[in-house]
Each structure stands twice: as C-alpha cells, then as structure tokens.
A and B are shown apart, each in its own frame.
Chain A
Amino acid sequence: MTAVSRTGMREGFVSCEACGLLSRPAGAEEPGECPRCGEELEYRRRDAIQRTWALVITAAICYLPANILPVMRTTTLTSEKTDTIIGGVIRLYASGSWFLALILLIASVMIPLSKLAALVYLLVTVQRGSARNNRERARLYRLMEIIGRWSMVDVFVATFAVGLVRLRPLMSVAPESGVLFFSAVVILTILAAESFDPRLIWDSGHGKQETND
C-alpha cells in the first residue's frame, strides 16, 4: 500500500492536545484556540526537536556529576563512608542482595542511559526524515514514557535512609549533592520525552503509508 495516510494536518484539521477535540483551525498559520476547552491549538508541539535536544544534552551533562558525586554519607562511631549510585549497587551485590542490586542497576544506570540513547535515536531518525520502523519507534517512545520515572528510586532510597537513620552519634545517614544531580537527570529526561512530539515519527517519508502486515 502506498496510499497517502489521511492525517489531521493533511486534511486541514487540528487535534487539541488538552481535550482531544478535532476541529477546523482558525487559520493555516495561527490555528487559534480549541472551541471546546480554549487551549491554544498547535499542529505539532512547538520547537519539539530543539527543545528535546536541549533537554537531552542538559540531562547528559548532569549525568556525570550524578554518578561521580556521592549520594549519601553514613557516619557511625568508628567510621564514615560515602556512597555513589554505583557504589551503592556494588555494596548491595557484595552483601548478598543480588536481586535488589539488579533492580537498582536497571533503575539507576540502565534506564537513564537507554532513555537518553532512545531519545537521541528518535531525534536523529526524525531529523533525517526516516520512514522506517515507525511502529517500533512509536512503541519505543511509549515505553520510554512509562519507565523513565523508575530511575527516581535511588533518590527515594536516600531520602528514607536519611529520614530513618538518625541515631547520632551511633549511626546517621546524611544526603550528599549527588542526589540533586541525579534527580535533575530524571526530571530532565521526563521533560525531554514530553517535549518530543511522537507525531513527527509519522510525518516523514512523503506520507506514504507503511505496510505493516
């Protein structure tokens, strides 16, 4: 099948991002406002590619201090030690909790990295006007939206360790600045995924419908 797909934009309609209503825009350049909910209408999210790139690059920069700086400091009567994200994973593995170590490894290391890689892949393929693997790319985008939040786990772990373990001078846990950069990475990648417009995946390729059977 090579028929041109009938999208809202090609047929001169615009779909409201807030309420989902399909309406005829006020003008081709300025679509105006949604007649039902009053939201400003856009054919595609504004500057989606530039915004997503900016957020991805910022997140990648924050990723370095997030992993180099410690996230918490444990003080006991006799010792004081700091843990980075990866250090915490290794310590858990060494203490025999390999299952928890695996969960943290996936949530804190693999999810942020693969999310950044996936966003870069989507951005590059959209900018090149690729029309291949559309369904897979759409699925990748949706998966990324769902799993991104789980990276926040380590920040919650630090928060509750800090909240619970405060038996000075016996034992206490304090947060370190790594948590800030790590939360920044998670939030920036969530914002990056939100600013990307998945409809761009389908816009390229001269509008030819993909054969997907």
Chain B
Amino acid sequence: MSTDVVACPDCDLLQRIPALSPGGTACCTRCGRKLATCQPGSLERTTALAVAAAIVFLITNMEPLMGLSLSGREASTTIAGGVWQMWVQGERITALFIALFAVIAPALQIGFLLAILLSVRRPPAPLWVGALLRWVEIAGSWSMVEVMMLGILVSLVKIAAVARVVPGVGIFAAGGLILLLAAMSSSFDPREAWSRVRWVNGEGPQRAPPSAGKDATEAGR
C-alpha cells in the first residue's frame, strides 16, 4: 500500500519499518520502543483468545473468590460482593474505581476487541472500528486483573491468620483470565487492524510519505 514510514511514538524519529520475518519485531533505532510486529495469523489467534477470555471472565465474576469460616459461621465473596460492601459501607468512590479496574475495563477490553476482530475480517471496516481501536487501548490501560489477583492473594493470607479461608473457583478463573488477557493483548496487532479500517477522508493514502533515512532495528524473533 505505502512504503512503511513511521515516526516513533516515543521519540518522533522517522524510520522505515523493514520487511519483518514471521515473529519478528521492529524497534526504534533511537529509543528502543517497539514499533511493529509480524505475527502471521494474528487475527484468528487473537479472536480465539478473546472468546476464551470472555468465557473465563464470566466465570471469574460469577463464582465466589474465596470463602471464610469462623466458629461455625461462614461467608464468601465475589468481585461484585467486595465492590458492593465498599459501596454500602460508605467508600462509594473507591467502590466505583474498583468496579472500573476489575470488572468494567476488562469487560470492555474483551468486548471491544471481539467487535474489532469480527468487523475487520472483511476490509475495509467501517469508521466506528477506528473509534473502538482507540477505546480498546484505553480500556486495556485501566484493566487491572493481575493487580486484583495479587490483592486477593494478599487478603487471603492476611485473613488466614485469624480464620479458615478456602479459595473458590473464582480465584482459579482469575488466574486463567490473567494469562488469556496477556496472550490476547500480545497477539493482537493494532497496525494490521488499522490498515483494514476505512479512512475518514474517504480516499486512503494520498500524500507521499517522507523518505526515511534509516530502517528500524529488527529485534530477534
């Protein structure tokens, strides 16, 4: 389509993305920022991972994370249960933050990505896919399932000092969700998706890009 010249998002250096071998990564020659990857089959693989992540996400949110028993009395909590207790007991803003980081952001991240992946299968994809590509990045940056997992483990150990705690299905699902989200994000190639989206100006590339002096560095496979 065009000679692949980009300006590094982190240092603005102009450079050409070289033809990459499968599995290869191009990094900025000046600051080392990753600029492009070559992942054959990225769309299919990411779709499969996103579907799996969606299923495991539902399990993580529906099953109890852990149970507690003390002197014959029992209690258990889900993610929503923790958020709800924070809300009820007066820390409403914090409850909203937790809901955002642990539930809403990951849900949007998976949902938006699935919508993107399905609609770029037949290029050119409609304009709203571009908006979703922007939003999926924002949702991803606020999705903190892995931080939540560490928080669950720490609270489990802390409470285990005073009562008997039993890990629930939710904890194991959360562990799986972390792996799936990481695999999903790393196998997704946003450059590939962007190249399949219809242009706002309705024309596509028109002005000749500059001739870049250097090729970006190709890191090992």
B-chain residues with CB within 8 Å of residue A8 when the two chains form the complex: 7, 12-14
* Cβ contact within 8 Å between B12 and A162: no
Interface set, chain B 1-53, CB cutoff 8 A to A? 5-7, 9-14, 30-33
Interface set, chain A 154-189, CB cutoff 8 A to B? 154-167, 170-171, 174-175, 177, 179-180, 183, 187
* Cβ contact within 8 Å between A161 and B159: yes
* Cβ contact within 8 Å between A177 and B71: no
* Cβ contact within 8 Å between A23 and B207: yes
Interface residue count for A (Cβ, 8 Å)? 74
B-chain residues with CB within 8 Å of residue A198 when the two chains form the complex: 10-11, 31
- Choose one: A9, A20, A34, A167; the contact of B68 (CB below 8 Å): A167
* Cβ contact within 8 Å between B206 and A35: yes
* Cβ contact within 8 Å between A152 and B144: yes
* Cβ contact within 8 Å between A170 and B70: yes
* Cβ contact within 8 Å between B151 and A156: yes
Count, A-B residue pairs, CB within 8 A: 220
> Given that A23-B207, A198-B11, A202-B13 are known contacts, is A183 also in contact with B151, CB under 8 Å in the complex?
no
Interface set, chain A 1-49, CB cutoff 8 A to B? 5-9, 11, 13-15, 17-24, 33-39
B-chain residues with CB within 8 Å of residue A107 when the two chains form the complex: 150
A-chain residues with CB within 8 Å of residue B209 when the two chains form the complex: 13, 22
* Cβ contact within 8 Å between B9 and A15: yes
A-chain residues with CB within 8 Å of residue B207 when the two chains form the complex: 23-24
A206: interface (CB < 8 Å) = no
* Cβ contact within 8 Å between A164 and B30: no
> Given that A35-B200, A150-B150, A202-B31 are known contacts, is A20 also in contact with B194, CB under 8 Å in the complex?
yes
Alpha-carbon distance A213/B131, docked complex (angstroms): 41
Alpha-carbon distance A22/B165, docked complex (angstroms): 55
- Choose one: A14, A159, A171; the contact of B82 (CB below 8 Å): A159
- Choose one: B12, B70, B151; the contact of A160 (CB below 8 Å): B151
B-chain residues with CB within 8 Å of residue A11 when the two chains form the complex: 14, 210
Interface set, chain B 170-203, CB cutoff 8 A to A? 190-191, 194, 197, 199-201, 203
Interface string of A48-92 (1 = CB under 8 A from B): 000000000000000000000000000000000000000010001
List 17 additional contacts besides A152-B144, A157-B154; criterion CB under 8 Å.
A5-B30, A15-B6, A19-B134, A36-B130, A36-B194, A97-B157, A107-B150, A156-B152, A159-B98, A160-B66, A160-B77, A161-B155, A162-B82, A164-B65, A165-B159, A171-B70, A194-B141
Closest 5 CB pairs of A and B: A156-B151, A163-B82, A8-B7, A163-B77, A38-B200
- What are some 22 contacts across the A-B interface (CB < 8 A)? A6-B213, A15-B12, A20-B191, A22-B6, A35-B206, A36-B130, A36-B200, A37-B130, A38-B130, A103-B150, A135-B30, A138-B31, A139-B32, A157-B154, A157-B158, A159-B95, A160-B155, A165-B163, A175-B90, A175-B91, A183-B97, A202-B11
